[in-house]
Chains A and B, each alone.
Chain A
Amino acid sequence: MGIGIRSTPPDVGLVRDLTLPHLDAAYNLARWLMGSEQDAADLVHTAFLRAARYIHTYAGGNAKAWWLSIVRNCCIATLASRSRRDVSLDALAEDEPAQWPQANAATVEDTVHLSQCAALIVHHLEALPREFREVLVLREIEDCSYREIADILAVPVGTVMSRLARSRALLKKLLIENSVDAGTHGL
């Protein structure tokens, strides 16, 4: 290894190869986390520069997960610096053994009409705490595997599974509670 610190230009070709195939995924994630087109676009650009700067940390493996984890970290840092409040994960009780939401006889489609839901779903997803929203976006919209989500969030697969179950239960609850038919089903 060299003596002292050498500065070498990052291999931009490599950075592009790793990130551009997943640009839509990155933008989609940023859009759902940041809430606006402009913020999402700026964020993705910032994340790209960061990816270039930290390209040496990429050691092979899932490029999409590596890139999306950078995008996500940039989102979190930007959001945190804007809001002085800390988002505490304690409220989510991550350390408790996975408590699977009770099986519930009402099907979402039984209680709420699909077309009504579709209109409301964006509203409810945006209302979810970020930790729940991001797993749902990554799983249901980006179609990431549990392994990929675990790599992106830097948590074990078991945490992804329990958080996903809780997110689904919470979203379902919001949909049912806010539907017109809520009164007709014993909830």
Chain B
Amino acid sequence: MDCKAAAPMLHAYLDGELDRAAVDEIEEHLERCEQCVRELASLQGLRNVIREGAPRHAASASLRARLLASGDVPESAADQVSDLIPQKRRPTNAAVVPRWALAASLLMAFSLGIASMKWYALESAATTNRQALDSELLSSHLRALAAASPVDVVSTNRHTVKPWFAGKIGQSPPVLDPAADGFPLVGGRIDYVANQRVAVLVYGHGQHLIDAYLLPATAEDLQEMPRVLQGYRLAAIRVQDQPMWIVGDIDEQEFARFKNLLTAGVSR
């Protein structure tokens, strides 16, 4: 690959839009090409400047209230042609799994096949209902498994994962890599769980993937035994003083081993 071919790819690389093969190609080029490395650093620098200085404006509470109060939307008979059938609202193509930016409730309906999309109350804050959280975590995990890639950033020798989260999310996850113990860090992504953007670390174990979500957990959650949901194990753990939820379909023994490795802070 020469610089001319690499130049457009640098943007896609920075934006996490390349598949693994393309990531390998461009990283190989970057190992040999100082100019492209400088260009990439420049793009990253520009991103830092934007993230540092350009605010993300949030809607005011009064605007939100205004919309919630817009309950009676005026109808205009002339342009409301309706042959609306409830089924039309459901996503029709189950083979294409949407990326993590979809609203949590749509994803829930999508992956768990629930007919009513009002199943999950969106106006509420992060749910304290453990069952709903388990379902959401599983749903997110399944969606990631079905996607073209379960990660938005790939872990490489240059420890790309932790810095990738900075600027994207308020709190960076504790990044461990117990690769020598059979659980290499594959990469990370940002997902939606309980109506929040959540940092996720993705680990491999043989052919399996385990997701670790940075999400609050109660003392009860942390003390509980791992639960099993549709064949997937879930548990809340503390990693370097931060709560995380791990989800994966590995056996009980290996799951316990992974849990212990992370809790002990193993990274080699």
Contacts and interface: CB of A to CB of B under 8 A. Distances in A.
A112 B249 CA distance: 49
A1 to B, nearest CB: 5
Interface in A91-118: 98, 100-101, 103-110, 114, 117-118
A5 B80 contact: yes
Nearest to A2: B83
B90 interface: yes
Interface in B191-247: 195
Interface string A5-34: 111111011111111111110111001100
A17 B42 CA distance: 39
Contacts of B47: 140
B48 A109 contact: yes
B46 A146 contact: no
A132 to B, nearest CB: 13
A125 B54 contact: yes
B118 A147 contact: no
Interface string A25-48: 011100110000100110011001
B53 A139 contact: no
A62 to B, nearest CB: 6
Contact of B36 (A9, A103, A117, A125): A103
Contact count band on A:
35 or more
Interface residues of B, number: 72
Contacts of B50: 121, 125, 136, 140-141, 171
Interface in B6-41: 7-8, 11-12, 15, 17, 35-36, 38-39, 41
Interface string B147-175: 00000000000000000000010000000
B186 interface: no
Given A140-B51, A172-B46, A21 B38 contact: no
A110 B4 CA distance: 24
Interface string A67-105: 000000000000000000000000000000010110111
Contact of B11 (A7, A27, A108, A161): A161
A145 interface: yes
Contacts of A31: 57
A168 B195 CA distance: 31
Given A6-B82, A15-B73, 6 more contacts: A2-B83, A27-B58, A100-B8, A120-B53, A145-B17, A146-B17
28 contacts: A1-B83, A5-B80, A5-B81, A9-B75, A10-B75, A13-B118, A14-B118, A23-B63, A23-B67, A24-B58, A28-B57, A31-B57, A44-B63, A48-B67, A49-B74, A56-B88, A58-B89, A60-B89, A63-B102, A100-B8, A110-B45, A121-B50, A121-B53, A122-B53, A140-B50, A143-B101, A145-B15, A164-B15
Closest 5 CB pairs of A and B: A118-B53, A60-B91, A27-B59, A121-B53, A108-B45
